[in-house]
Chain A
Amino acid sequence: MVLDVDDLSVHYRLAGGAAARLFGLGTSTVKAVDGVTLRLRRGEVLGVVGESGSGKTTLGRALLGLAPATGGSITYRPRSGGDRRVSDLRGRALRELRTDLQMVFQDPHAALNPTMTVAQAVGDPLRIHGVPSADLGPRVRDALERVGLAPVDRYLGKYPSDLSGGQKQRVVMARAIILGPEVLVADEPISMLDMSVRAKILELMLELKRDLGLSYVYITHDLASAKFFCDRIAIMYLGRVVEIGSTEEIFADPKHPYTRALLAAIPEPDPDRSVPRELPRGEIPDAASPPLGCSFHPRCPQATAVCGWESRDLRTLLEEHWTRRDPATYAAEGEVIGDLGHLDAPAASVELGRAGAAKVHDLMDRIRAENPDEPLWQGVEAIEDTGSGVRVRFHEGVDPALRRAGGVDVACVLYAGGGEAEDAAKAKASGRSS
């Protein structure tokens, strides 16, 4: 074990306006990383895969103490012994940690100072950590040779603007390894590069890992490169790890509906596959106001009754329905429902409609008949008359925790294992759909 992440949270307070802050109003919290537990084993490549907004980059930065942990802990266990709690380190102690933990950033053009030569950039970490300047030269040359920038003399005096994208990323790698770290956190190291050199940079990373005994955390949105590169993979969604296991198992038998969706959506240069496939609707939700229950439920094709259905899902349902209707029908039905604004406040019970209960009921029935398999309907516990409209009550949602399922850990009520309520829900869900 090199890194031990236990129930790590990185929460950011969103400050409202000055008045809101004064009265404590309107502030909310973005849970960028929300209770993540994972371990990096010595010599392995751990992939952290997710879409933008999943918290993968924040997690990577927190591992190096670049983002403040607001809960839980990160423990670094060096080869030489003497465990260090990264999440508690500050100032000088944190700087010293950088000799062991290093980062490779996504954009090599932005990660290099345009006014520093290659020799200066690569030697900079040594200078910061007080290595005598007489020793700089040989160590810089050695690092450049390791990343393949040889003959070294050709590169020492060059500026980033003289280099191609692949060469710049090599310089960034040289700078990252020059202090002899044990762990590299690589945040999308190849996504800004031209496709013809991506494979080359991955190959270089594998070489360095072998020669220097490194362990990697490989952060990416690209499942294809993760499949090739990683030993284990953690799939992240909205600040949580939703599935984690060996690369082999995750690709052979993806369990979480989100993992499955990601795999199905990868465009493959394979002429025998084509577009029409079942895709989750919508996009990754706002982390300042995540969905109730499981964060993925609004997009999940396999959602059950207890996944956390709520008012905002009702809004999406209505809007999708109207997207398919002609303008006249929309105008008429819109009159029945009225304004949708109040649905934006998350609630498991909500009033709907203004043209009388019968008309609203009627419309709801029509929408349901249109697509009876829509998972949202499983979550509706009751639709009650209120006179002017109806009150829609949803089942209470479950926020699933990571649990063992087969060879992986997955956070989904479909793989609940124990919990009676969840089992019941699962039975109910499958009963309805059959």
Chain B
Amino acid sequence: MTAAPTAAPTTVVEAEDLRVWYAGATDPVRAVDGVSFELRKGEILGLVGESGCGKSTLGRGLLGLLPDGAARDGKLVVDGRDVLAMSPKQARALRGGELGMIFQEPLTRLDPLMRISDHFVEALKTHEPDLSKQEVERRALDVLRVVGIPPTRYRAYPHEFSGGMRQRIMIALALVLRPAFVVADEPTTALDVLVEAQIIRSLHDLREEYGTAMLLITHNLGIVAEACDRVAVMYAGKIVEIGDAREVFSNPQHSYTRELLRSTISLRTTGLNYIAGAPPDLVDPPSGCYFHPRCPDAMNVCAARTPEDRVLPGGSRAACWAADLRAGVIDLPEPERAPLEREEIGLADEA
């Protein structure tokens, strides 16, 4: 492996041991705690987990959109360039053109005094100042067509559109610059079920047309199952499981993934399940596996030692002692395998 390139040519994003932390009152808050993954061209990776698990921080951290007082560490290569080694100015030039972001609330991101056409002119002229007027319009209408906005509405104002159409426009604005990588943070959360389904389909079409790699952050496991190629499950700042979406959903390896799926209320729900307790405080996380205080499978080893990331037989990568044992990739002495004895979790710790 000495001469081989660090990543295959189609790899757009490569994160290795990426960390993001905020300054806390006394100790740093480790919001993203050693995350590694790759994203290929045209691939949609879903990122799921409870609130407060670091999903949005990871998404913003990848784009460098962190507030003051936050720091990044580790390795992050986007489109062959080492982002963390760049000067702030270089990094800023990368955003928009190479890196895009789609936010949750489209109305707050569009300028009510600007026509849709002006939004596109501004975006394109900022990043590609040499474009002619006709070229700007052609590019804008092209991407609007893919997201399903009629050309007749090109010169309308944001308030003349419905919520779903505004989100389509936001998606078009992010993609008109043909970024290599886009982070979509809960893009359909504010929308109705039918519109949500339409937008998910649009994202699918766009991926085919533009080849953009996308990180889709959502709390809705159903959307991941429908829209994503792969899925990463995040818990307390770590990716605890990552793999092919179908595989992860039909064969969850990490206990957290399984419990998350079980607690989701879907059309097939016949009984109520939930995960006791809440995600840990990231200033002072638990020992061993961060999920062990809430985990129904917890063994003694889970509280003592941090599980390693391992690729398991189904192809998913997970960090879970129970999964390792089940797959037979490790063996543990009896005292370590014994069920962990702990206090019952009270409502005091409910999420």
Assess whether B350 is in contact with A51, with CB atoms less than 8 Å apart. Answer: no
Check if A290 is an interface residue, CB within 8 A of chain B: no
Binds A, one of B3-11, B84-92, B265-273, B282-290: B265-273
CB neighbours (8 Å) of B201 from chain A are 275-276, 279
**Distance between B265 CB and nearest chain A CB, rounded to angstroms:** 5
CB neighbours (8 Å) of A29 from chain B are none
Check if B82 is an interface residue, CB within 8 A of chain A: no
Interface positions, chain B 143-178, Cβ under 8 Å from A, are 144-145, 148-153, 162-165
CB neighbours (8 Å) of B350 from chain A are 164, 166-167, 197, 200
Check if A280 is an interface residue, CB within 8 A of chain B: yes
CB neighbours (8 Å) of A23 from chain B are none
Binds B, one of A14-22, A38-46, A121-129, A261-269: A261-269
- Provide the bound-state CA to CA distance between A284 and B193, in Å: 11
CB neighbours (8 Å) of A166 from chain B are 350-351
Binding site for A on B (CB under 8 A): 50-51, 137-138, 141, 144-145, 148-153, 162-165, 192-198, 200-201, 204, 219-227, 245-247, 249-250, 259-261, 263-270, 272-275, 278, 347-348, 350-351
- Provide the bound-state CA to CA distance between A195 and B195, in Å: 21
CB neighbours (8 Å) of B275 from chain A are 196
- Provide the bound-state CA to CA distance between A177 and B91, in Å: 55
Of the residues B137, B144, B164, B263, contact of A199 by C-beta under 8 Å: B263
Assess whether A323 is in contact with B148, with CB atoms less than 8 Å apart. Answer: yes
**Distance between B275 CB and nearest chain A CB, rounded to angstroms:** 4
CB neighbours (8 Å) of A281 from chain B are 198
Assess whether B150 is in contact with A268, with CB atoms less than 8 Å apart. Answer: no
Given known contacts A225-B265, A266-B222, A275 and B151 CB-to-CB distance under 8 angstroms: no
Given known contacts A199-B265, A274-B226, A280 and B152 CB-to-CB distance under 8 angstroms: no
Assess whether A319 is in contact with B153, with CB atoms less than 8 Å apart. Answer: yes
Assess whether B351 is in contact with A227, with CB atoms less than 8 Å apart. Answer: no
Given contacts A266-B222, A318-B152, A327-B141, 13 further A-B contacts (CB under 8 A): A195-B263, A197-B351, A202-B265, A265-B197, A266-B267, A267-B200, A267-B220, A267-B225, A271-B249, A275-B227, A283-B163, A283-B195, A299-B194
Assess whether A279 is in contact with B197, with CB atoms less than 8 Å apart. Answer: yes
Check if A273 is an interface residue, CB within 8 A of chain B: yes
The chain B residue with its CB closest to the CB of A283 is B162
Assess whether B221 is in contact with A269, with CB atoms less than 8 Å apart. Answer: yes
**For B138, B192, B196, B247, which residue has the most chain A Cβ atoms within 10 angstroms?**
B192
Check if A52 is an interface residue, CB within 8 A of chain B: yes
- Provide the bound-state CA to CA distance between A308 and B278, in Å: 52
Assess whether A195 is in contact with B264, with CB atoms less than 8 Å apart. Answer: yes
CB neighbours (8 Å) of A280 from chain B are 194
CB neighbours (8 Å) of B225 from chain A are 267-271, 273
Nearest 5 A/B pairs, CB to CB: A267-B222, A319-B150, A51-B192, A199-B272, A271-B246
- Provide the bound-state CA to CA distance between A193 and B52, in Å: 12
- Provide the bound-state CA to CA distance between A240 and B275, in Å: 38
**Distance between A144 CB and nearest chain B CB, rounded to angstroms:** 11
Assess whether B269 is in contact with A194, with CB atoms less than 8 Å apart. Answer: no
CB neighbours (8 Å) of A318 from chain B are 152
The chain A residue with its CB closest to the CB of B262 is A199
The chain A residue with its CB closest to the CB of B200 is A275
CB neighbours (8 Å) of A196 from chain B are 50, 259-260, 263, 274-275, 351
Check if A364 is an interface residue, CB within 8 A of chain B: no
Interface string of A213-226 (1 = CB under 8 A from B): 00000000111110
Assess whether B269 is in contact with A51, with CB atoms less than 8 Å apart. Answer: no
- Provide the bound-state CA to CA distance between A9 and B268, in Å: 35
Check if A340 is an interface residue, CB within 8 A of chain B: yes
Interface string of A307-337 (1 = CB under 8 A from B): 0000000000011101110010010001000
The chain A residue with its CB closest to the CB of B53 is A194
Given known contacts A197-B274, A223-B267, A165 and B351 CB-to-CB distance under 8 angstroms: yes
Check if A116 is an interface residue, CB within 8 A of chain B: no
How many chain A residues sit at the interface, stated as a range, is 35 or more
**Distance between B104 CB and nearest chain A CB, rounded to angstroms:** 14
Check if A203 is an interface residue, CB within 8 A of chain B: yes
- Provide the bound-state CA to CA distance between A276 and B275, in Å: 32
- Provide the bound-state CA to CA distance between A41 and B35, in Å: 53
**Distance between B157 CB and nearest chain A CB, rounded to angstroms:** 15
Check if A150 is an interface residue, CB within 8 A of chain B: yes
The chain A residue with its CB closest to the CB of B348 is A154
Interface positions, chain A 285-320, Cβ under 8 Å from B, are 299, 318-320
Assess whether A150 is in contact with B347, with CB atoms less than 8 Å apart. Answer: yes
- Provide the bound-state CA to CA distance between A251 and B266, in Å: 13
- Provide the bound-state CA to CA distance between A262 and B197, in Å: 10
Check if A148 is an interface residue, CB within 8 A of chain B: yes
CB neighbours (8 Å) of B250 from chain A are 271
28 intermolecular pairs with C-beta atoms under 8 Å apart:
A51-B192, A167-B347, A167-B350, A195-B260, A196-B50, A196-B263, A197-B274, A198-B274, A200-B350, A202-B272, A222-B265, A228-B269, A251-B267, A262-B194, A265-B193, A267-B222, A267-B226, A268-B225, A268-B267, A269-B221, A271-B249, A275-B201, A275-B204, A279-B194, A319-B150, A320-B150, A327-B137, A340-B152
CB neighbours (8 Å) of B246 from chain A are 271
**For A167, A170, A200, A282, which residue has the most chain B Cβ atoms within 10 angstroms?**
A200
Check if A149 is an interface residue, CB within 8 A of chain B: yes
Interface string of A389-404 (1 = CB under 8 A from B): 0000000000000000
The chain B residue with its CB closest to the CB of A315 is B152
- Provide the bound-state CA to CA distance between A170 and B348, in Å: 12
Assess whether B151 is in contact with A327, with CB atoms less than 8 Å apart. Answer: yes
- Provide the bound-state CA to CA distance between A317 and B156, in Å: 18
Assess whether B264 is in contact with A227, with CB atoms less than 8 Å apart. Answer: no
CB neighbours (8 Å) of B220 from chain A are 267
- Provide the bound-state CA to CA distance between A340 and B156, in Å: 13
CB neighbours (8 Å) of A277 from chain B are 197
Assess whether A224 is in contact with B138, with CB atoms less than 8 Å apart. Answer: no
The chain A residue with its CB closest to the CB of B147 is A323
CB neighbours (8 Å) of B151 from chain A are 322-323, 327, 330
Assess whether A327 is in contact with B249, with CB atoms less than 8 Å apart. Answer: no
- Provide the bound-state CA to CA distance between A330 and B145, in Å: 12
- Provide the bound-state CA to CA distance between A267 and B266, in Å: 9
Assess whether A269 is in contact with B193, with CB atoms less than 8 Å apart. Answer: no
**Distance between B46 CB and nearest chain A CB, rounded to angstroms:** 11
- Provide the bound-state CA to CA distance between A196 and B150, in Å: 40
- Provide the bound-state CA to CA distance between A268 and B200, in Å: 13
CB neighbours (8 Å) of B197 from chain A are 265, 267, 275, 277, 279
Interface positions, chain A 169-199, Cβ under 8 Å from B, are 170, 193-199
- Provide the bound-state CA to CA distance between A319 and B156, in Å: 14
**Distance between A403 CB and nearest chain B CB, rounded to angstroms:** 24
CB neighbours (8 Å) of A154 from chain B are 348
- Provide the bound-state CA to CA distance between A236 and B160, in Å: 25
- Provide the bound-state CA to CA distance between A262 and B194, in Å: 6
Assess whether A221 is in contact with B269, with CB atoms less than 8 Å apart. Answer: no
**Distance between B166 CB and nearest chain A CB, rounded to angstroms:** 11
